[in-house]
Amino acid sequence: MKFSFIKSRDSRSNLLVREISYIAKMDVWKSIKIKRTFRQIRMEKIFRSSLVLVALSILVLVIAFLFTLIVQSMPSIKALGFSFLFGKTWDPVANVYGTYPFLLGTLFTSFLALIISIPFSFSIAIFLGEYYPRGWFSEFLKNSIELIAAVPSVIYGFWGLFVLVPIVRSMELKLGVTPYGIGIFTSSLILAIMIIPYAASLGREMIRMVPSSLKEAAYSLGATRYEVIKTVILPYSKSGLFAGILLSLGRALGETMAVTMVIGNTSIIPKSIFDPGNTMASVIANEFTEAASTLYLSSLIELGLILFLVTVLINLIGKKIIKRFTTD
């Protein structure tokens, strides 16, 4: 067999790639017998086995989480049944436990924070991915956004108490509502700030992965920068952008300390976004050390089980939507 070698000016890597491409196009490549040493075969088996072991360990870990929550929640499940899920009263003194107000509070704060954060996340992703992908200013802004994600949640809670709560209280006075300051809206603002880096960082990487040939083709047809972003970049990277939103939502659902410090911690169903409320995570954080009875402790663990199942359900729905975006 003869190979056509490339000119000497090509690099060694280009030479190897072209030779492999040439062999792949030939009809005789199937008859070539590749000889591997015993060491190569053994290393391949060890590497594959280690990957399988790591994947199975993650699966076992998730199953162990679920199994532990179910077992520890059995006293509450047997005693309360479905009334625990739809009950509107949480009174540990009377042994009455209903998680409906906390479920609503969790969903309200998380989705409101997501709605607030999406415009900022997409704007940052487009700005860093398309307008300023390189340069000192881009690096400075990117590092600043990553720093926001690294700040401990308790710091956000302190900042919300001393800065954000007075601002929200002044706004509530102007709107004519009860000036709590703390509540669903305040905690949603804190959560929105906390989850912006997740969607922005993933969205920026997805936008930078859009092929230049597609954008150049749109420019050659007379499209403006806005039209390229609207008709080429966003449709191409929509699955990645939605994945960033889903990641942000998962972060918001499980947040504890920052929300606990500004939500009000009241076990009532909020009638508006300015009312105080509670989330499942904040209830567990506030009351877990005070749970004296078995039913009380089991109810808090069942609350964690519901939070776990809600997070899994939302992620599964998001995966289905991402898959549909990808196929479309």
pLDDT tens digit at each of 328 positions of the chain: 434 433 444 454 555 556 556 555 555 445 555 666 777 778 888 888 899 999 999 999 989 999 999 999 998 888 888 888 888 888 888 888 888 899 999 999 999 999 999 999 999 988 888 888 787 888 888 888 888 888 888 899 899 989 999 999 999 898 888 888 888 999 999 999 999 988 888 888 888 888 888 888 888 888 888 888 888 888 888 888 888 888 888 888 888 888 888 998 888 888 888 989 889 988 988 888 888 888 889 999 999 999 999 888 888 887 777 777 666 5
pLDDT recorded at residue 82: 82
Q: Into how many domains does the chain fold?
A: 2
pLDDT recorded at residue 6: 37
pLDDT recorded at residue 31: 53
Examine the domain organization and report whether 21 and 110 are in the same domain: no
Q: Are 279 and 262 in contact (CB under 8 A)?
A: no
Examine the domain organization and report whether 21 and 128 are in the same domain: no
pLDDT recorded at residue 7: 40
pLDDT recorded at residue 20: 54
Residue with tokens 């017998």: 33
Task: Express each pLDDT in 90-109 by its tens digit.
Answer: 888 888 888 889 999 999 99
Q: Domain for residue 62, yes or no? A: no
Cα–Cα distance for residue pair 286/268, rounded to 1 Å: 16
Answering whether pTM is above 0.85, one says no
Examine the domain organization and report whether 21 and 120 are in the same domain: no
Examine the domain organization and report whether 98 and 156 are in the same domain: yes
Determine the structural domain holding residue 291 and report its residue range.
Answer: 68-327
- For position 198, which CATH number holds? 1.10.3720.10
Q: Domain for residue 204, yes or no? A: yes
Cα–Cα distance for residue pair 77/58, rounded to 1 Å: 27
Examine the domain organization and report whether 30 and 89 are in the same domain: no
Examine the domain organization and report whether 97 and 24 are in the same domain: no
Q: Domain for residue 41, yes or no? A: no
pLDDT recorded at residue 8: 42
Structure-token pair, residue 145: 């956004």
Q: Domain for residue 115, yes or no? A: yes
Q: Domain for residue 23, yes or no? A: yes
Angle, helices 136-150 vs 184-208, to 10°: value is: 140
The residues, ordered by sequence, that sit 6+ positions from 164 with a Cβ below 8 Å of its Cβ are 186, 189, 190, 262
Examine the domain organization and report whether 188 and 322 are in the same domain: yes
Examine the domain organization and report whether 263 and 161 are in the same domain: yes
